[in-house]
A and B are shown apart, each in its own frame.
Chain A
Amino acid sequence: MQLNLQRLAALMQKETIQILRDRRFIFLFLGLTFVQLFVYSYSASRTVYHMPLAVVDQSRDPTSAAFVRALVNSQYFNVKVYLSDESQAKDAIDKSEVKAALVIPPDFAASVDQGSANFLMLLDGSDQFAVQSGYSAVGLVAQDFGLQMSDQNLALGGGMSSTNSSLPITTSSQILYNPDMNDKWFVIPGIIGMILQTLAVEQAAIFLVRDREWGTMEQILATPVRQLELILSKLIPLSVLCLLTFGTSVALGIFWFGVPFHGNLFLYFWLALLFLASCLGLGLVISTRATTQFEAEASAMIFMLFGLLLTGLFYPRTGMPLLPQLIGDIAPLTYFLRISRDIYMKGVGLDFVWGDAVILALYTLIVIFISSKRFKMRLD
């Protein structure tokens, strides 16, 4: 198949004019893309701070007050109400007034001194986020508080040195790449990929179906335009738009959200281009199946949901059953997500991400092969 550059240029000009003329499209395309980036980035965090807490303090002594203060100081809890017994606390959780309730028994201070104090923490198990954050926070605070108390007691007794009171094994920890566990740092490199996938797959599918639906395919058929020229004339302006959006998203990630970019920007750009090609190819395959823009759009949207739930963007793929994992493999985002996070945060080079890069390249070849078999520049 021969490619006539002059014809291609003319067709691309037509497509560009069509794109720029459609204000609503430009609004949906660019405006909503960035709205998405902001909405997702600002909301994607699972840790719950300042969750409302009910306190049932039956002890009412300085030790119990100190323990409540320690919980509040951890930033995870805010005391919302003081109640008198456990059943009231359960009621408060039933009513969703509070997410957690602390019950301190009457003899708290004395039993802390004896080294055998107990307290009860009730957590709202219908709220998974409150449970997860609350559970680990309570454990940590109690441990710290307990160690402090026993150190104090020992110091008062004067018997042993304080190092003996700590555990025989001390664990220090090092969290690589993201020492403060800032949620935005690992969410944004993924969201940028998801936005690019959504745009590219959806718009490629719609662009290619459009002429068929509008009936303008007939006119195009009457010209000497070849199939490849037709496809390229649509995909090239679209790619430019996608890359502009992508570049802006990356810039926003770095400068607005302050996500450090550790890798090689040049390499990242080339791999993003490969990812874009695989997405456009996927859109092309969808367009060969769809007869209307609506069908094309609806099928492409399914990939957005897959992208959110099955690619590892927000939910871990480790431990996911095989079938959802395989379905997630259909979305090119699964591979680019790893590349994006690795280059962005770990700052590794091609020697580390080559596996996913090869898969993306193969993926692109396969979708182009399938669509070249199926794409027919015909009316029916």
Chain B
Amino acid sequence: MLRRTWAIAQKEFIQLTRLPLVMIGMTVGVALELVLFAVAVHNNVNHIPMVVADQSRTEASASYLNAFTDSANFDIVALVPDQTAVVRAIDSGQASVGLVIPADFATRVEQKDAHVLIVADGSDSFDAQSAYGSAASISQAYAVSLTNQQLSPLNAHIQILYNPDLVDLWFIVPGFGAFLLFGISLKLTAFAIVREREAGTIEALLVTPIRPIELMLGKMIPNLGVAIFNLILTFAFGILLFGVPFRGNLLLFSVLATIFATGSLGLGLAISSFAQSQVQANQLASLMNIAVMFVSGFMFPVYGLPILLRAFGYTMPMTFFLPIVNGIITKGVGLGDLWGPVLSLTALTVVLFYVGARLFRQNLD
């Protein structure tokens, strides 16, 4: 049995190397993808375009405005006369946030009773949240500095563990590596089997003494090899290039990543039995891949998901691998702290593989 499995694996491997472009795309291409998206994707916005209606035009208002420009969070792109013009500038997309300083600002500050208005563009999604939050806090900090006293009797000391400076890349690179690995593993198996079906060669294989399980394993082994190579390349690239600290145990990480890749290959196997052609296989795999971005906690937190989507997330190995990746790379914790997701991931991998194999067999008959 081993010999036959090995023979299939060899055949698969030769077929893979015959497509050098695909191989390059699936390895180097993926690493480049990581770089491109990792630098592009960020949540905190600096240099938000701001429009100002300074009706006071005094030293007081100028120094108040300085507090905004000094923070580098805002760039003043336009000075306009009044609130209507501020709203208009936001309507036209010229600015995301507006500030209205009334004419009596300076005198009212002395009376400790000045009012300013912050107008934020609520249509500009995540930009707006960021802009509004920092505008309010800058304004407040400035106000506190004017009083020359400690206003609040309560001081919050907030300590952020593992990533104290909130480096965006530290958040993104580990998750992205896992996401790319998932996508590649999913597609590799799906294609390997559908290709055979499309080319009609699956019939030829069936008349040989090769059993379905051997065929399946023989197809999996080279793909797992590619996936692991991919894993090393992507993570090494991301971690070395972006200086993401790897705090945990590399060996533990490799073992768990292999389990994750195996589970993803099993899912690919299941897809292959639904898809009639490579096009359909790719469509299904891509959609699943993208859906995973949403439900696994990669792009958005899982806590807020409706129950159905959460349940869907639990059928994806990514949902359990993500806490493992973050745990090992960013937190530097070991198996003792991660046994929950590790057990779930292993169990899910076994189930996916079993279901994939069953579907694969049914499909051969």
Contacts from A to B (Cβ < 8 Å): 24, 28, 32, 36, 39-40, 42-51, 67, 90, 93-96, 111-132, 135-136, 138-139, 142-143, 145-147, 149-150, 153, 163-164, 166-179, 181, 183, 185-187, 190, 202, 206, 293-294, 297-298, 301, 304-305, 308-310, 314-316, 318-321, 323-325, 327-328, 338, 341-342, 344-346, 348, 352
Contacts and interface: CB of A to CB of B under 8 A. Distances in A.
Given A46-B43, A145-B154, A90 B161 contact: yes
B333 interface: yes
Interface string B73-113: 00000000000000100111100100000000000010011
B295 interface: yes
Nearest to B159: A122
Interface of B: 33, 36-37, 39-43, 45-49, 64, 87, 90-93, 96, 109, 112-130, 132-133, 135-137, 139-140, 142-144, 146-147, 150-164, 166, 168, 171, 276-280, 282-284, 286-287, 290-291, 293-295, 299-301, 303-306, 309, 312, 323, 326-327, 330-331, 333, 337, 340
Given A49-B303, A168-B113, A171-B117, 4 more contacts: A117-B153, A128-B168, A145-B154, A352-B93
Contacts of B117: 171-174
A174 B112 contact: no
Contacts of A309: 37, 40-41
B316 to A, nearest CB: 12
A328 B36 CA distance: 11
Instruction: Give the interface centre of A95, A168, A305, A314 by most chain B CB atoms within 10 Å.
Output: A168
A341 B162 CA distance: 37
27 contacts: A46-B43, A115-B153, A118-B155, A119-B155, A125-B163, A125-B166, A126-B331, A130-B301, A138-B156, A139-B158, A143-B152, A163-B113, A167-B147, A169-B115, A171-B115, A172-B115, A172-B116, A177-B123, A294-B279, A304-B286, A309-B37, A316-B43, A319-B46, A328-B40, A341-B123, A341-B124, A342-B91
Given A121-B159, A125-B161, A177 B122 contact: yes
Contacts of A42: 305-306, 309
Contacts of A118: 154-155, 157
Nearest to A297: B279
A171 B150 contact: no
Contacts of A153: 153
Interface centre among B112, B142, B152 (most CB of A within 10 A): B152
Nearest to B118: A173
B146 A168 contact: yes
Given A122-B159, A171-B139, A314 B40 contact: no
Contacts of B122: 175-179, 181, 185-186, 345
Nearest to A141: B156
Contact of A40 (B127, B153, B294): B294
Contact of B45 (A146, A149, A319): A319
Q: What does DSSP make chain A's interface, helix, strand, loop or mixed? A: helix
A168 B147 contact: yes
Contacts of B159: 120-123
Nearest to A166: B112
Contact of A150 (B45, B153, B306, B330): B153
B161 A308 contact: no
Contacts of A49: 303-304
B161 A128 contact: no
Contacts of B300: 43-46, 129
A132 B344 CA distance: 27
A263 B315 CA distance: 40
Contact of B123 (A28, A93, A94, A346): A346
A125 B160 contact: yes
A327 B300 CA distance: 24
Contacts of B115: 169-172
A116 B153 contact: yes
B127 A316 contact: yes
A270 to B, nearest CB: 20
Contact of B112 (A111, A168, A177): A168
Contacts of A338: 93
B143 A169 contact: yes
A135 B164 CA distance: 12
Contacts of A325: 40
Given A39-B294, A169-B114, A315-B43, A293 B279 contact: yes
A125 B330 contact: yes
Contacts of B113: 163, 168, 170
A39 B291 contact: yes
Contacts of B143: 167-169
